[in-house]
Structure 1
Amino acid sequence: MAKVLVVEDDADIRTLLDLRLRAAGHRVLGAGSAAEARAVLDERGAPDVLVSDVTLPGTTGLEMVRELRADERFAGLPVVFLSGRVQPADIEAGRALGAVYLTKPVVLSALCSAIEQALVPAGTSTGW
């Protein structure tokens, strides 16, 4: 299955996502902020998929992904936004970054489907 980095500032939601994604067979690391996520990425390399909330402390998930897109190591990183922000402008901003945008609450099967669709072709992952 996939190597997934979950970026979610709510520790309870992050733990729930971790447990459910692991039960679905994925390898999961978590981060509570964009800064923590960047530290994980710099240390471990790119996962197969990044799952991120849009609302994060210090910066938004959208801004974090914009910055990652500017870094050649992470420019093609598949992203799934998982957010409570449901305004059309928020959804369009996420999709404009090439990401899948799911809204909370999410059904695990929908999240797993989004991860499967976003998977990097075999052999291109550089970390974990």
Structure 2
Amino acid sequence: MVKRDEGLIKLLTPPFDEGDLEPGYIKSYVPGVRENGGQYTHAAAWVIMAFAKMGDGNKAMELFDLLNPINHSRTHIEYSRYKVEPYVMAADVYSVPPHTGRGGWTWYTGSAGWIYRVGFEYILGFKSVEKLLR
């Protein structure tokens, strides 16, 4: 599910595009886009959180770096593939050629919020005062 060479963490594979299974609305997305076999960044953030909670900080940080949008735009070739703002978390990243690695649905605060929270709370270990008082 982790595709380092493509810079993404897939939600599921293979996409639902052939066959008789009817999993619901996700089959309506183009194969490799959003929940239909692409990276759904909410879920990718939860994968990172799981590794951090299991105590595998190195793996959590490796995957965090993989999702970091700036790391999708270090070169002209990477930016040409990603095609979205390098300073905004994409809600999804496509996983099927010819659009593999292309970001989609940017400025989506849910994904950005989860990545931010995973980074600060689960990787770096910061806790809010309110949580510490509970």
- Larger helix proportion of the pair: 2
Shorter chain as denominator, the TM-score bin is under 0.3
- Larger strand proportion of the pair: 1
* TM, length-normalised to structure 2: 0.26
Compare CA radii of gyration and give the structure with the larger one: 2
